[in-house]
Amino acid sequence: MGTKLNWVGTDALFAHPSFVSGAARVLDLGGTFDDYNRSRGEEDADVRALQGDWLAVGADMQMAIDTVTK
């Protein structure tokens, strides 16, 4: 089991705009600033989303185990 997975997170496909970008979106009536992180394809996006979801489940389970064993 020596493979370590990198944390992907459940919001991996969403962009994280800066404050300035967020402020500019207020004036962007045409939606030209809408941007999302891109994947190579649907399958890649699904794999990344599922990986992030299961990593979150694993982190929650680990936190529960740590709480119970204290």
Least confident of 2-11, 16-25, 48-57: 2-11
Q: How do residues 7-28 score in pLDDT, each as one tens digit?
A: 556 666 566 677 887 777 788 7
SS3 31: coil
Check: CB of residue 7 under 8 Å from CB of residue 55.
Answer: yes
pLDDT of residue 1: 43
pTM greater than 0.85 (yes/no): no
CB burial of residue 17 (10 Å; 0-12, 13-18, 19+): middle
| Domain map (residue ranges) of the chain | 19-68
User: CA nearest 47: which of 3, 16, 6?
Assistant: 6
